[in-house]
Structure 1
Amino acid sequence: MGMPFTFIHAADLHLDSPFKGLAKAPAAVRERLRESTFASLGRLAELAVRERADFVVIAGDLFDAADRSLRAQLRLQRSLGDLAKRGVRTYIVHGNHDHESGRQAQLDWPEGVHVFGSSRVDCCAAYARGGETAAHIYGISYPTRAVGDNLALRFRKREGAPFHIAVLHANVDGDPAHDDYAPCRLDELVSSGFDYWALGHVHDRRVLSEYPHVVYPGNLQGRSVREAGGKGAYAVSVSDSGAVDMRFHDLADVVWREIAVPIDGLEREQQLQEAMLSALEDARRDSSGRPTVARLRLEGRGPMHELLLRAGAAEEWLEGVRDCLASPEETDDWIWPESLLVRTSGELQLERVAEEDGFLGELIRRGMLASADPEAAKAMLDEATESLRKLPRVREWLDGRTREERERWIRRAMELSASLLRDDDAG
């Protein structure tokens, strides 16, 4: 039996992330994004105070680059110092982005901040506000960026505490969406004897196991549309019997969203514009007063598809929608559409065309067979882009496309070919 206590589990702060690819965004958007990782850090500190947390654990990638910016280091030092003055200690490991071999300023960590080294897994006692030992905390940092060893196997429980927390930046079960650093298996973590694995590295919030708990809180602030939705940290309360109560808190300063806009039933440009503006307004209202950076994804089937296929149409529509929105310089809860994806289909049913005799039917049948076979799809696209593939960078980019992207390209080519051939026949 132990004393009840509360801690905050956060990871992947990526302080001073550069937010690339937004050169066309207004200055107010760029500046808000530049400050967003620091604002989320401030919200994390406020959460620790509000929850009366006994301590905070941060599971790696506090900084966006190994050569940490001085600005990021000073802001983190000040924030953790403020927490220490309020009696909240912080326990830190560094990951692949902020590994120990990177350049860093010679700054003193505030009293009450413990940074785990990279030579071995260390253990230290964490105390409740009353002074009693609440838990043992274990951790190890990355010495260099690419750590291929299974660091989880180095963790060993040390007796003398009622609860044991392991802090690790790692890829559990080989998530293909993330670099396979410090790879380990979930069953290894579950059988290790620790009560809570405070993980970092995967930017999606995931609870892989309960009792023992194996948890990714996700990153603190989304950095692109691929990191959409709520981002933040867990407040974890442990009862005197060891029962764990986890509460996720969305701490993102700027929300990233991908917004689907169906074109089904839309017949005129005015209707399409109104549909996009309505979807953006709904997303803005759902953001709890925070600014939003959004990607519009047009989908569905309808007559507007032919207009959207025209070269430059997506960028034209994007600029037109932006002109109708409130300026980010004039309001705090702005929404900025950063891109527009066209994932629509025409009213032409390819499956029906494939049943026809003649050249068009044969063309569509061949395209459908190729799109259903990943190897055939790649071969067809390699042949179609033969001249482009002579350029090394273009070839590398083409080879990196996913199966879904290749299928989509072939289907679009079939739709466009069918549409053009039908128009010629009609003419």
Structure 2
Amino acid sequence: MTFFLIHGNHDFLEKDRDVLELPENVFTFGETVQCVTWKGKFGETVRLYGFSYTERHVREKRLNEFQKQGEADFHIALLHGSEETKSSEHDVYAPFNLSELKQKGFDYWALGHIHKREILSEQPGVYYPGNIQGRNRKEVGAKGGTIVELSPKGASFEFFETAPVVWDKLQIELEGKVDQTTLFRKLEKSLQSHREKSRSYILELEVLAENPDGVSSADWLQMFEDEVSAAPFVWVNALKFTSKQSQSNDSWQQDLLLADELKAAIQELREEETFFETIESLYLHPGVRQYLTELDEEKQEQLLSAALMKLNETYAEIEDGKK
């Protein structure tokens, strides 16, 4: 069995730096696009194309370097890069456009960089397999590898799980006033469904209620922490209580002309790095920073919710003024 490897921005081939010696059956592509030929035991011929990063940031397009060479049953390209028409949580490296990939005439594009599993095209096959283990709360759901089969009709994909620990999100809705007994039963029921599975889970819980004020998420988190057993385990990593009123107030966003842009901006602000870049000037201001406290994840969400409610009020005032 032969393996073909390209290096990306996290494991780039830094010049003059010692690297691990890989087994002889692993072929590593160099810094320029190479074409290598592989022959199967039944006589099939495959040409593979790819390049490895030699620095962390590869901003320029490299797509023009991919050119089919010679005759083969299949031509497969390996590319670590970003589809430029899609918004992404990841930095944009070696950008490409899906239509440009298809015009190249390759049978399959094995993509890297984006940690979310996604099929961009089946004919020809263009695919992000994602990573094999979720690293943080943003990388939810099953992670693993994919067996890709090529034929003249296109590509087929068979996913298999590898991650022993899965990050997941759960939302629980309560009717009426929040009481300890109802809340306990609801939370236990949700957690039990995960405890019965063969994998371990790190969960982010959100409880929707009419009036969750006064309910301490810290106390409940402590209780769940005390109940954690050996693997497979269920760990409640975050717990927040959200007012149904504040959630229903978000519906006004759907009516806006720039609803998609607003949604993207909100999502971006929920990213920790972007959030702190936005408020950085306050913490650097000598007259303000002495009055500021450390912001944990719950307080960040509260600030964002308050800002959205203010936008909602402003939008309502504008609409009333038009009448």
Same fold? TM cut 0.5? yes
Identify the residue that residue 342 of structure 1 maps to in structure 2.
Answer: 241
Identify the residue that residue 409 of structure 1 maps to in structure 2.
Answer: 306
Q: Aligned partners of 1:230, 1:393: CA distance in 2, in Å?
A: 41
Identify the residue that residue 210 of structure 2 maps to in structure 1.
Answer: 302
Identify the residue that residue 316 of structure 1 maps to in structure 2.
Answer: 219
- Could you give the per-residue CA deviations for residues 214-268 of structure 1, whole angstroms, max 9, x where no partner exists? 11011111011110101112101224x4542211112212111111122234531
Identify the residue that residue 327 of structure 1 maps to in structure 2.
Answer: 229
- Could you give the per-residue CA deviations for residues 371-391 of structure 1, whole angstroms, max 9, x where no partner exists? 99x9xxx9xxxxx99975626
Identify the residue that residue 54 of structure 1 maps to in structure 2.
Answer: none
AA at the equivalent of 2:229: S
CA RMSD of aligned residues (A): 3.6
Q: What's the CA shift for 1:140? A: 0.3
Q: Comparing both chains, which one has the higher relative contact order based on Cα–Cα distances under 8 Å and sequence gaps of 6 or more?
A: 1
Identify the residue that residue 284 of structure 1 maps to in structure 2.
Answer: 195
Pick closer, same or farther for the CA change 1:385–1:234 going to 2, 3 Å.
Answer: closer
- Could you give the per-residue CA deviations for residues 81-103 of structure 1, whole angstroms, max 9, x where no partner exists? xxxxxxx2110000000011178
Q: Aligned partners of 1:160, 1:387: CA distance in 2, in Å?
A: 61
Identify the residue that residue 182 of structure 2 maps to in structure 1.
Answer: 271
Match of 1:212 among 116, 124, 130: 124
Identify the residue that residue 185 of structure 1 maps to in structure 2.
Answer: 97
Identify the residue that residue 153 of structure 1 maps to in structure 2.
Answer: 64
Q: What's the CA shift for 1:333? A: 1.8
Give runs of aligned pairs for residues 238-253 of structure 1, distance below 5 A.
238-239=150-151, 241=152, 243-253=154-164
Pick closer, same or farther for the CA change 1:94–1:106 going to 2, 3 Å.
Answer: closer
Q: Which runs of 4+ in 1 moved over 3 A?
A: 102-107, 384-389, 391-395, 403-407, 410-414
AA at the equivalent of 1:188: E
Identify the residue that residue 101 of structure 1 maps to in structure 2.
Answer: 14
Aligned to 1:226, what secondary structure does the other structure show? coil
Q: Aligned partners of 2:244, 2:166: CA distance in 1, in Å?
A: 29
Q: What's the TM-score, normalizing by structure 1?
A: 0.58
Q: Is the 8 A contact 1:172 1:183 kept in 2?
A: yes
Point out where structure 1 has 5 or more consecutive residues left out of the alignment: 1-87, 352-370, 379-383, 415-427
Q: Aligned partners of 2:181, 2:16: CA distance in 1, in Å?
A: 54
Q: Aligned partners of 1:141, 1:168: CA distance in 2, in Å?
A: 9
Q: What's the CA shift for 1:307? A: 2.0
Q: Aligned partners of 1:103, 1:155: CA distance in 2, in Å?
A: 27
Q: What's the CA shift for 1:105? A: 4.2
Q: Aligned partners of 1:172, 1:211: CA distance in 2, in Å?
A: 17
Q: Aligned partners of 1:206, 1:234: CA distance in 2, in Å?
A: 11
Q: Aligned partners of 1:126, 1:341: CA distance in 2, in Å?
A: 53
Q: Is the 8 A contact 1:306 1:346 kept in 2?
A: no
AA at the equivalent of 2:305: R
- Could you give the per-residue CA deviations for residues 55-79 of structure 1, whole angstroms, max 9, x where no partner exists? xxxxxxxxxxxxxxxxxxxxxxxxx
Give runs of aligned pairs for residues 370-389 of structure 1, distance below 5 A.
none
Asked if 1:116 corresponds to 2:29, the answer is yes
AA at the equivalent of 1:316: D
Q: Aligned partners of 1:319, 1:231: CA distance in 2, in Å?
A: 28
Which of the pair has more CA radius of gyration? 1
Pick closer, same or farther for the CA change 1:387–1:333 going to 2, 3 Å.
Answer: closer
Q: What's the CA shift for 1:104? A: 5.5
Pick closer, same or farther for the CA change 1:102–1:261 going to 2, 3 Å.
Answer: farther
Q: Aligned partners of 1:385, 1:237: CA distance in 2, in Å?
A: 49
Pick closer, same or farther for the CA change 1:124–1:317 going to 2, 3 Å.
Answer: same
Aligned to 1:316, what secondary structure does the other structure show? helix
Q: Aligned partners of 2:289, 2:123: CA distance in 1, in Å?
A: 48
Pick closer, same or farther for the CA change 1:387–1:222 going to 2, 3 Å.
Answer: closer
Identify the residue that residue 254 of structure 2 maps to in structure 1.
Answer: none
AA at the equivalent of 2:2: R
AA at the equivalent of 1:178: H
Pick closer, same or farther for the CA change 1:411–1:211 going to 2, 3 Å.
Answer: closer
Q: Aligned partners of 1:265, 1:89: CA distance in 2, in Å?
A: 61
Q: What's the TM-score, normalizing by structure 2?
A: 0.75
Pick closer, same or farther for the CA change 1:193–1:387 going to 2, 3 Å.
Answer: closer
Aligned to 1:272, what secondary structure does the other structure show? helix
Q: Aligned partners of 1:405, 1:249: CA distance in 2, in Å?
A: 38
- Could you give the per-residue CA deviations for residues 392-419 of structure 1, whole angstroms, max 9, x where no partner exists? 9999x99xxxx997551246799xxxxx
Q: Aligned partners of 2:95, 2:195: CA distance in 1, in Å?
A: 39
Q: Aligned partners of 2:249, 2:96: CA distance in 1, in Å?
A: 46
Point out where structure 2 has 5 or more consecutive residues left out of the alignment: 251-261, 270-278, 312-323
Q: What's the CA shift for 1:201? A: 0.4
Identify the residue that residue 274 of structure 2 maps to in structure 1.
Answer: none
Q: Percent identity?
A: 31
AA at the equivalent of 2:55: T
Aligned to 2:123, what secondary structure does the other structure show? coil
Aligned to 1:273, what secondary structure does the other structure show? helix
Asked if 1:390 corresponds to 2:285, the answer is yes
Identify the residue that residue 314 of structure 2 maps to in structure 1.
Answer: none
Q: Aligned partners of 1:177, 1:186: CA distance in 2, in Å?
A: 18
Identify the residue that residue 260 of structure 1 maps to in structure 2.
Answer: 171
